[in-house]
Structure 1
Amino acid sequence: MSAESMLEPGTPEDSGSSAPRRRAKGRRRKPRNQRPRALLVTAWAAAGVVVLGGAGLGYTYFRLNDNIKSVDINQALGADRPLNVDNGSQDILVLGSDTRSGGNKELGGGTDDGSARSDTAMIVHVYEGHKKASVVSIPRDTLVDRPECTDSKGTEHDAASQVMFNSAYSTGGAACAVKTVESMSGIRMDHYVEVDFSGFQKLIDELGGVKVTTTKNITDKESHLDLEAGTHQLTGKQALGLVRTRHGVGDGSDLGRIQLQQAFIKALVEQVKGIGVLTSPKKLFDLADTATRTVTTDSDLASVNELASFAGGLKGISSSKMDMVTMPVRYDPADGNRVLVQKTKARQVWDALKNDRPIPKSATEGTATGDAKGVVS
């Protein structure tokens, strides 16, 4: 859902004392057989899940294939991962990144220093049968114990205690972000998808915008958003502002922003399902070209064939079959700008996903929210 980063820029706290490394011996899932498939493209979610399937061969195929950037997560993390429970379900880590370079400089703010942060993180659990999904948002301001990890370039990074969750990505990139999520949840991520600022904005424009209704005025100078209450067909710039806004609605926390993101993703999913992209070959190609340039994936998804196959398993999921929650947290009494994991309730969430079951309502009752629920639909 990266889709972003779609969020407000901020500097993560990287410092912390050493923490013991957690070890869990695991095995890799056998790669799926590649099947010759035609190319078709649809975008599945704004915060980062891009769905591909389709029509076209030859030059088009190779051009789109060359667009895709990837990270070899399996190589970087090795066997020190949770066991892979192959029960027909899938778990995908979706990150929004705000790389401060190229077209993202103006959108992300700051200087063109090539740095990047992950301000949006979602675990998408696709249930067996691929007819429904649960999406768990991880607040970037959550204080966590970051495990020791090795990034995709082979550089080792020390563990750190009680640092912001998004420091994992800024410290060691995708591999360390996946490592941290797996350490927190005990769930092995089958795939990784990342979308950046400029790509997200362009993708929304290629789709013709997204229709949402707001129940309140939303004004936020930092995210460049100014919306009156009512129904809007958001442009890419407005959509990016909406999923980044933090001070325009709710209590000004990252939690409120997550609630807006979740509402936007549901609106986007419904719109994509209703778009007849196959009626226009140019529209189809433009969508495919933008989508493949926008995403970075794990190496197992780094081809048009694999993305098309992956997408085929997701296209039957409608917004009504998506349960979207935030990882159970509470406000940090020592710092109102940080949140702490409610470990008992979080364990309910992770256990449900491990066992391919719905997340119980009790897992999110009484947890911190952002007071922005219902503002966007």
Structure 2
Amino acid sequence: MAFHMTRGQKVLWWSLLAFGVLLAAGAGLALWAYQSLEGNIRTDHAAAEALDQDAAERPRPAEGEARNIMVIGDDWGSGTGNARSDTVLLLHLSGDGRRAELVGVPRDIVVDIPACQDEDGGTTRAQRAQFNWAYQFGGAACTIRTFERLTDIRIDHHLVIGFDGFARLVDTLGGVEVELEEAERDPNVGHDLPAGRHLLDGEQALAYVRARVYVGDGSDLNRMARQQEFLGLVYDRLTDQGTLTNPAKLYPVLSAVTSAITADPGLDSLNELRGLLTDVRAVPDGGLTFHTVPTVPHPTRPNRLALDGPAASGLFTALRGDTPLD
């Protein structure tokens, strides 16, 4: 199933941040500024070590030049007291460089989560639970291992992007304007706005994109589409203010962006991130497509999802074989 967005399909959460990194690498910033931005990016050594320990159980790397990069949204501070990955995207770059397929993984799919190493050095028990719990149990490594066992697709690199950086970005832009046809309120995330036009600051924007249960149809898929639409508004704000061409305005934005990024050792520098985005931007028109893992309502767990067997299997097979998605 494809993402249905009214506009700005190329403006997704991860690509907006990576786009900022590309600009930082090529905007002629002073050396001190470049070094400062480079130093903001954190390296996820813990995940790399955990995945190395599980190397024998992981799927084989894709043949040829195809790559799979997982982008994880770190939703720490959402009111649960725990980190959750409510946004997980798989970027598949075809070996021939002609396709970039971005696949959303709904957080509410009930899956088998393996035993994972937690941040205290202990080991969590293997259990069947919703997909986004994997990040809470064992960080990026647990999310990757859960996804790999579900799909038999090898993840080559990963990026974790913190929601706190997203709020800083919105504040740096002086807020982002939204217009609501009707009042919205979701007490779970502190979202409460009357109908009409609003200029949201970072904290309000964070609540806006997290809102789910009491907004729209309350589904995770609705929340994903809502986040992507808001990113289009962020991009409009960036371009309307001339931020991307004004170094004085650009540096605070890039500082917020890079401060939000944690990456594996193969993507933890401006140059490496720039190379990734350069490959995405080189994809011909029409080659960038958006999808979501096919699901159906879970038969026994209310408000949870199960894989739509044949459709999901077809999607995973195409990704493993580096063939175009339908």
Instruction: Please say if residues 116 and 137 of structure 2, whose CA atoms lie closer than 8 Å, have aligned partners that are also in contact.
Output: no
**Counterpart in 1 of 2:278?**
312
Amino acid at match of 1:60: A
User: Given the alignment, which residue of 193, 199, 218 partners 1:226?
Assistant: 193
**How big is the shift at 1:197?**
2.4
| Structure 1: runs of 5 or more not aligned | 1-42, 101-107, 361-377
Change (3 A) 1:49 1:212: same
**Counterpart in 1 of 2:49?**
75
1:65-96 CA-to-partner distances (Å, cap 9, x unmatched) read: 22111213443212232222254433221111
User: Given the alignment, which residue of 140, 165, 171 partners 1:199?
Assistant: 165
Amino acid at match of 1:65: E
Q: Tell me how many residue pairs correspond in the alignment.
A: 306
Instruction: Please say if residues 102 and 289 of structure 2, whose CA atoms lie closer than 8 Å, have aligned partners that are also in contact.
Output: yes
User: Residue 145 of structure 1 aligns to a residue in which SS?
Assistant: strand
**Counterpart in 1 of 2:5?**
none
User: Given the alignment, which residue of 103, 106, 109 partners 2:79?
Assistant: 109
Q: 1:75-154, aligned counterparts within 5 Å? A: 75-78=49-52, 79-80=55-56, 81-100=58-77, 108-109=78-79, 115-128=82-95, 132-150=99-117
Change (3 A) 1:152 1:185: farther
User: Given the alignment, which residue of 324, 348, 352 partners 2:318?
Assistant: 352
Instruction: Please say if residues 148 and 155 of structure 2, whose CA atoms lie closer than 8 Å, have aligned partners that are also in contact.
Output: yes
Higher helix share: 2
Task: State how far apart, in whole Å, the 2-side matches of 1:178 and 1:341 are.
Answer: 17
Higher RCO (C-alpha 8 Å, min separation 6) = 2
**Counterpart in 1 of 2:6?**
none
Tell which deviates more after alignment, 164-173 or 69-78: 69-78
Amino acid at match of 2:49: Q
Tell which deviates more after alignment, 302-311 or 180-189: 302-311
Fraction of identical pairs, as percent: 34
Change (3 A) 1:179 1:212: same
User: Residue 333 of structure 1 aligns to a residue in which SS?
Assistant: coil
Task: State how far apart, in whole Å, the 2-side matches of 1:207 and 1:314 are.
Answer: 25
Task: State how far apart, in whole Å, the 2-side matches of 1:204 and 1:186 are.
Answer: 37
Change (3 A) 1:273 1:345: farther
Instruction: Please say if residues 217 and 228 of structure 1, whose CA atoms lie closer than 8 Å, have aligned partners that are also in contact.
Output: yes
Q: 1:48-59, aligned counterparts within 5 Å? A: 50-51=17-18, 52-53=21-22, 54=25, 55-59=28-32
Task: State how far apart, in whole Å, the 1-side matches of 2:154 and 2:240 are.
Answer: 33
RMSD: 3.3
| Structure 2: runs of 5 or more not aligned | 1-9
Task: State how far apart, in whole Å, the 2-side matches of 1:124 and 1:95 are.
Answer: 11
User: Residue 291 of structure 1 aligns to a residue in which SS?
Assistant: helix
Taking structure 1 as the reference length, the TM-score comes to 0.69
Amino acid at match of 1:96: G
Change (3 A) 1:247 1:99: closer
